[in-house]
Structure 1
């Protein structure tokens, strides 16, 4: 049997509580907490939900420019991703 074990769900409802739950993600190893939370949110959310997440992230006084152990920000990493532009635009709108 080929393919994913679960069907893709694209119309999920992302309420504020669900989005805020990403703020509680714990890092592993030497990954800075703020970078880890941003990365997990980026990987798990649609761009419009990620933009809402960024507002909550900043309201907690967290660092949008946190770096991974290799010294890269999330923004530097996703600039190379095919679908990263929407997420970069979300950051721009939140920080304007």
Structure 2
């Protein structure tokens, strides 16, 4: 089916607070910090704008923004080399994240 010219395809609509907060309910994988696991899931699934909102909820729960993976890396140190991760890294830095 051809897309009508007067219909614009909408990609990545803003998420509701409730949709973003769902990420706070994930449990960690064995051997991985729950906070690191949650941060990584949110990073992989959310747009940068939504990730920034997620970080506010994450911190409000007293979670550890500098939780480490089994290799001892924080999410910020993990993503610094990723293409297109600058906005996410800035969010983490602004919130108090360390590499």
TM-score bucket (shorter structure): 0.7 to 0.9
SS in structure 1 at match of 2:21: helix
2:91 paired residue number = 90
- Normalized against structure 1, the TM-score is what? 0.85
Separation of aligned partners in 1, 2:71 and 2:23 = 23
- Specify every segment of 5 or more residues in structure 1 that has no aligned partner in the other structure, as ranges: 1-8
- TM superposition shift of 1:29: 1.1
Separation of aligned partners in 2, 1:58 and 1:30 = 22
Separation of aligned partners in 1, 2:30 and 2:11 = 32
Q: Contact conserved, 2:36 with 2:74, CA < 8 A, in 1?
A: yes
Bigger Rg, structure 1 or 2: 2
Deviates more, 1:85-94 or 1:12-21: 85-94
1:55 paired residue number = 56
Separation of aligned partners in 2, 1:36 and 1:12 = 24
Q: How does 1:1-80 map to 2 (within 5 A)?
A: 10-80=11-81
Separation of aligned partners in 1, 2:59 and 2:47 = 18
- Specify every segment of 5 or more residues in structure 2 that has no aligned partner in the other structure, as ranges: 1-9
1:3 paired residue number = none
1:6 paired residue number = none
Measured on the aligned residues, the alpha-carbon RMSD in Å equals 1.3
- Structure number with the higher helix fraction is 1
